[in-house]
Amino acid sequence: MTATPQTLLDVQSLQVAFPGAGGDVYAVDGVSFQVANGETVCLVGESGCGKSLTALALLRLVPPPGRITGPAHIVFDGRDILSLDERALRSIRGREMAMIFQEPTTALNPVLTVGDQIAEVVRVHTTCSAREAWDQAVAMLARVGIADAPARATQYPHELSGGMRQRVMIAMALVLSPRLVIADEPTTALDVTIQAQILELLRDLRTRTGMALLLITHDLGVVAEMASRVIVMYAGRVVEEAPVEALFATPSHPYTQGLLSAMPRLGDEQARLTTIRGSVPPLGALPSGCAFRDRCPYAVDRCAVEEPRLQSVGASHQARCHLVQEPARRVAPAGAPRS
């Protein structure tokens, strides 16, 4: 896809390299995608597929010794993230592009009250007084559904439940009304009921504020609930990208098909769930040709010698597979996403 006037984030040829015994290994390798204003894009894949590193790279937060390399370009709202100085980058982080992490227990400061932590974000980025920042923090806690927000604001993270801590993280990310929120598995550590509430909260806040949401998840149930567009990653590469309805109706990469076959569906309790055989190969030990070859039920000789490229399979729908045009490999629709 090419950038349009609606494009808020444009990522091209992103590579994240780590030093390995035999030279650099690429945890993210040539990833390109866009996020439009107000859009919800889901980045999907198993652990180790590079989705979290992709998200960290957008804010230049790749942990060393990893580094962004190659001809990568990340443009956010017209600014080239990779060439900004630290000061300019700090003013974007939190204020215009904010991140919600998977595990609030480690992301929150245990020795500061949650109100102070949210107020601190406001004070760093604005000229608000301490009183005004505190009032904004309390108002934001109420907005994310925390009852008795003035009292909760004075509590420490360990005094709150897991669901409430995640709401605090969301409040902290949204208090300055960023244009893009990156949420990395924001509900994975929560039980199913709280998970549904947090997703509903994110959906509601997105509708009310018009923010764009880049949601990183391994859970296709979450994708069906939330996404307008889906990017599937495997071994550091994008293997399929599609509008959510197209992805569920005509998944075109064998990896996406495998993920969908492994997804439990309401009302179809008798259906046998299948899993994708094997696991994501370690960095530096990818098979030749197609990185999914060792796990693919359709692999042919060509897959061992030639790396597939992304090919169009429909409107705004691409997949990285040599056999993508062969209708015999199409699977039955796998459950409709929520509209």
| Residue whose pair of structure tokens reads 């090419």 in the numeric block | 2
Q: How far is the CB of 300 from ligand SF4 (least distance, A)?
A: 6
Tell me the one-letter amino acid at 35: V
234 lies in the site for ligand SF4, by CB under 6 A: no
Contacts to ligand SF4 from residues 189-218, by CB under 6 A: none
Query: Smallest distance, Å, CB 124 to ligand SF4?
Result: 46
DSSP 99-132: EE-S-HHHHS-TTS-HHHHHHHHHHHHS---HHH
Given 3-state DSSP classes, what are the helix, strand and coil percentages for the chain, each rounded to the nearest 5?
Answer: 35, 25, 40
Measured from the CB atom, is 208 or 309 closer to ligand SF4?
309
Q: Which of residues 286-305 bind ligand SF4 (CB under 6 A)?
A: 290, 292-293, 296, 298-299, 303
Min dist. Cβ of residue 255 to ligand SF4 (A): 7
Q: Which of 81, 251, 322, 337 binds ligand SF4 (CB under 6 A)?
A: 322
Contact between 308 and ligand SF4 by CB under 6 A: the answer reads: yes
Sheet holding 229-234, edge to edge: 97-100, 180-184, 212-217, 40-44, 229-234, 237-243, 317-320, 310-314
**Footprint of ligand SF4 on 119-138 (CB under 6 A):** none
Radius of gyration for the chain, computed over Cα atoms and rounded to the nearest angstrom:
21
Q: Which spans in 34-184 are helix H?
A: 51-58, 86-92, 104-107, 114-125, 130-143, 149-152, 162-174
Verify binding: residue 321, ligand SF4, rule CB under 6 A. yes
> How many residues sit close enough to ligand SF4 to count as binding (CB under 6 A)?
12
Report, in Å, the least distance between residue 201 CB and ligand SF4.
Answer: 37
Minimum CB–partner distance for residue 254 and ligand SF4 (Å): 5
In terms of phi and psi (left: phi > 0; alpha: psi -120 to 50; beta: otherwise), the region of 143 is: alpha
Minimum distance, C-beta of residue 303 to ligand SF4, in the bound complex (Å):
3
Amino acid at 95: R
Nearer to ligand SF4, 289 or 335 (CB): 289
Near ligand SF4 in 26-65, by CB under 6 A:
none
Question: What is the rounded CA–CA span in Å between residue 227 and residue 220?
Answer: 10
Q: How far is the CB of 81 from ligand SF4 (least distance, A)?
A: 32
Q: How far, in Å, CA of 240 to CA of 247, rounded?
A: 8
Residue 155 to residue 191: CA distance in whole angstroms: 22
Q: Is 260 in the site for ligand SF4 (CB under 6 A)?
A: no
Using CB under 6 A as the binding rule, whether residue 68 contacts ligand SF4 is answered as: no
Chain residues in the site for ligand SF4 (CB under 6 A): 254, 290, 292-293, 296, 298-299, 303, 308, 321-323
